[in-house]
Amino acid sequence: MNKIEIYDTTLRDGAQGEAISFTLNDKLRIAEKLDEFGIDFIEGGWPGSNPKDITFFKRARNKKFKNVKIVAFGSTRRKNFTADKDPFLKQLLDSETEYITVFGKSWDLHVTDVLKTSLDENLKLIEDSIKFLRSEGRKVFFDAEHFFDGYKKNPDYALKTIKVAVDAGANKVVLCDTNGGSLQFEIEEIVKIVSEQINVPLGIHTHNDSGLAVANTIAAVRAGAEHIQGTINGVGERCGNADLSVIIPILQLKMGYRCVAEDKMSRITEVSRFIYEVANIVPPNSQPFVGMSAFAHKGGVHIDAVNKNPETYEHIDPAKVGNERRILLSELSGKSTILHKAKKYNLDKNPEIIKKILDRIMNLENDGYQFEAADGSFDIIVKKALGEYKKLFTVEGFRVIVEKRGKKVVSEATVKIRVGRCVEHTASEGNGPVNALDSAMRKALVKFYPEIDKVKLTDYKVRILHPEKATAAVTRVIIESTDESETWGTIGVSENIIEASLMAMLDSIDYKLHKTRSKT
């Protein structure tokens, strides 16, 4: 298997994404996670741009990474400085990394309109910067910024910029589709031309402004690129960068390249979700390979076929990327769905229980329930049908008050919960009635069941059923919860949105408590 180098820029380019802000500790945790996964290079940041990145490199020097090389990123020297006097180049050296990536202009438009200098002077900026860094014992990657746009406008000059970089000692040249506007056939054709004219390894760095960052990266590999730059989950400025959590499985599982160790590939879903968690982003279910819906089946015909042979509707075994097959419950699923779910509980030869579950699901669906995203609630239904469900607590009453205090609207919830012979009567405030109710319930239960402290609500969805009934309409609430190892959904339906929310929250806590007890 030919090796493809993976260069992750989540900590630098990814951090430029809207609403993404990594703390210093976040960056160090992500670096450790990527190292465990087997990434080759991590771009730690631009030490000349902010104090946090300078501190990151100081802290990273004391870390013992097993696989990864930390890379400092910066620009070529500025036109009014010599390389040895340029403060940004000095900060790159002060980062004390073995590898440094410098970017330079390859599009003549940027040279004349942004740098406000001559084309020849720009070549000198590139040459001097790389020669200086190499003379200081560093290995240098040259990011040819806007290379594809530059090549399409002025191919001779774009090629000159990377040839100058190679002659100055660059260890690798990375061709960048910085604006994300190039198409696959353009990328493949241009990379092939470049690969025939320079004698150092080629890399590719694409952005997703045309929705083609992954496809363009794959096209570049086909044309000879052997160094891939991107971010986990494709986070980044504007429409994002090339998504490594999609690219790596494609290259390794479908094209026969080696990106990470074979035994590490099954951790890519874990890595993806870890990055989302640190970035405080709700993962999109539809993300290929690692998304919750990537191997989810809803239609009865599909489910029946998957039960007989998973290859009929799955392009790879989900276990290879650390994901799992999910069978969704809905009116489209039919008996085959229940039969598939029943395998988990060894109910294949218990038709009476299966019928009991089916009847219960059908009745609830008539009332407005929908279980395709509520696997936790379905699990409780099965446990009740099997006689394995134990009532661990009872909500004897609750009250929620919403009032305006000055300029602020405050929600306060009071709950009365019985656990065995003990009764807890607690109150809590929140930024909304549901949040207040959730806080009050947790306050009452955590002393009996401390494990619920690890449960977090990650998503909350409200759907109005029969809107023609206006304010008397039935409300369906689906919440998504997570602990340290799993994510699950639960559902509640009521004419009262607070009661529907409470029902979903109770199922979520019930699911967690029964899951914990089944492992002990």
- Whether the pLDDT of residue 333 is over 70: the answer is no
- N-terminal to C-terminal alpha carbon distance within the chain: 43
Report pLDDT for 460: 85
Report pLDDT for 473: 73
Q: Rounded CA gap, 369 and 364, in Å?
A: 5
Q: How many residues does the chain have?
A: 520
Enter the CATH code of domain 394-518: 3.30.160.270
Q: Give the H or E element holding residue 459.
A: strand 456-465
Which residues on adjacent β-strands are paired with residue 132? Answer: none
Name the residue among 47, 18, 39 with its Cα closest to residue 30.
39
Q: Is the pTM of this model over 0.75?
A: no
Q: Read off the pLDDT of residues 246-281 as tens digits, 9 standing for 90 and up.
A: 999 999 999 999 999 999 999 999 899 889 878 878
The region of weakest confidence among 12-21, 196-205, 327-336 is 327-336
Report pLDDT for 469: 62
Report pLDDT for 348: 64
Q: Rounded CA gap, 39 and 6, in Å?
A: 6
Between the alpha carbon of residue 503 and those of residues 50, 86, 288, 472, 479, the distances in Å are 48, 63, 32, 18, 10
Report pLDDT for 332: 44
- Whether the pLDDT of residue 338 is over 70: the answer is no
What are the residue ranges spanned by the domains of the chain? 5-260, 296-386, 394-518
Q: What is 5-260's CATH topology?
A: TIM Barrel (3.20.20)
Q: Across residues 126-145, what is the average pLDDT?
A: 97
Report pLDDT for 313: 82
- Whether the pLDDT of residue 183 is over 90: the answer is yes
- Whether the pLDDT of residue 146 is over 50: the answer is yes
Name the residue among 251, 261, 190, 164 with its Cα closest to residue 215.
251
- Whether the pLDDT of residue 129 is over 60: the answer is yes
- Whether the pLDDT of residue 519 is over 80: the answer is no
DSSP letter string over 397-451? EEEEEEEEETTEEEEEEEEEEEETTEEEEEEEEESSHHHHHHHHHHHHHTTT-GG
The region of weakest confidence among 46-55, 77-86, 394-403 is 46-55
Q: Read off the pLDDT of residues 278-294 as tens digits, 9 standing for 90 and up.
A: 887 878 889 999 998 89
